[in-house]
Amino acid sequence: MTLLRSLYNRHLRDTAAGELARSLKRSAARSSEQLGWRIRDLPRRVRATTERVGMALSRRRHKKASHGADTSTTVKNIWYRARYVGRYYRARIGPAWPWLFASRETSNFTYDLTERNRAHLAAMIALVFKLPITEVVGYIDELLGDEALKASVIDRVNALGRGAGLDASAAFGRRIGWYAIARALKPNVVIETGVEKGLGAVVLCAALLRNREEGHQGRYYGTDIDLAAGMLLAEPYRSMGEILYGDSLESLAKLDVTIDLFINDSDHSHEYEAREYRLVAPKLSERAVIIADNAHVTDELYRFAQETGRQFLFFREEPEDHWYLGAGIGLAFR
């Protein structure tokens, strides 16, 4: 070291080569200092990197696991819920199989209501007419026990033959409510727009017949555009009224009567239904009750009730042993 220093002092000091040698020595010292620091810092940097990788791996594992759990829960839920839907609708779809082969009906299906549904219907009518529920139940039982009426319907079906698309049974569905209302109200005039086979007509005329036996006169008017409508309406029920053939609005416009019970069941478009209500509005008596057979689809009667200061209720029917989910009775009254 001393020899090197003396050689430097003698030959290189203040020369360019000497300056270069000094500069090389300084940078060698700096590099060695930096290298030392890096070596000393290495364990800390290894630890930090290991921790970072570990955390990243853990995050990835967690994400994968939780995603797997979500997917399997969703699949299980779909299966569970699909079976729920299946169980729920099996009761409805089941009766469709015998019906497909045994029934002749293609529209306006016939069925009885469940016992619970009948009880609810009676409760609603009792509320509307402020009658004891037993009285309304009595009206419904009266209809369901009317063997002469049932025999009349079944005789007509048999006489018309298979081609008429009718089943040889007398099941009235929600029309038992129409009957009970006609018995409770004792209307002077009943109008049913849309008669079709005449099942509603025969039920309403049977109620008027009973009312007459109790001293209350009443007349039935049906309207239908179909000239064959009303084939189930035989005597003695037929003589309780008449069917006005032609467009319902035209027939209603010509009819000069005060209506106590109006049943809309003709053209089921919103517009037509609303026009029927507007047309009969001035002909309705103060105690008039209006029934919408299509209130499970439209809210025209609800609107009419609002506009004319009437109350509105809706009863949903529950067919027994039938795939059809049922229609209902919309009711407007004061």
Ligand X SMILES: C[S@@+](CC[C@H](N)C(=O)[O-])C[C@H]1O[C@@H](n2cnc3c(N)ncnc32)[C@H](O)[C@@H]1O
From the list 16-24, 54-62, 121-129, 196-204, the region that binds ligand X by CB under 6 A is: 196-204
Residue (78 or 232) nearer to ligand X, CB: 232
User: Binding pattern to ligand X, positions 240-279, x when CB under 6 A?
Assistant: -------xx----------------xxx------------
Residue (248 or 298) nearer to ligand X, CB: 248
Which residues are 260's β-sheet partners? none
How is residue 252 written in tokens?
Answer: 């209603």
Question: By CB under 6 A, how many residues form the interface with ligand X?
Answer: 19
Contact flag: residue 199 with ligand X (CB under 6 A): yes
Contact flag: residue 200 with ligand X (CB under 6 A): yes
Residue (12 or 231) nearer to ligand X, CB: 231
Instruction: Report the site for ligand X in 164-193 (rule: CB under 6 A).
Output: 175, 192
Among 229, 252, 261, 327, binds ligand X (CB under 6 A): 229
Contact flag: residue 327 with ligand X (CB under 6 A): no
Minimal distance in Å, beta carbon 329 to ligand X?
12
Contact flag: residue 152 with ligand X (CB under 6 A): no
Among 33, 226, 242, 321, binds ligand X (CB under 6 A): 226
Instruction: Report the site for ligand X in 45-84 (rule: CB under 6 A).
Output: none
Contact flag: residue 196 with ligand X (CB under 6 A): yes
Phi-psi region of 175 (alpha: psi -120 to 50; beta: other; left: phi over 0): alpha
Minimal distance in Å, beta carbon 251 to ligand X?
7
Among 177, 194, 328, 330, binds ligand X (CB under 6 A): 194
How is residue 5 written in tokens?
Answer: 């220093």
Contact flag: residue 211 with ligand X (CB under 6 A): no
Binding region for ligand X (CB under 6 A): 108, 175, 192, 194-197, 199-200, 223-226, 229, 247-248, 265-267
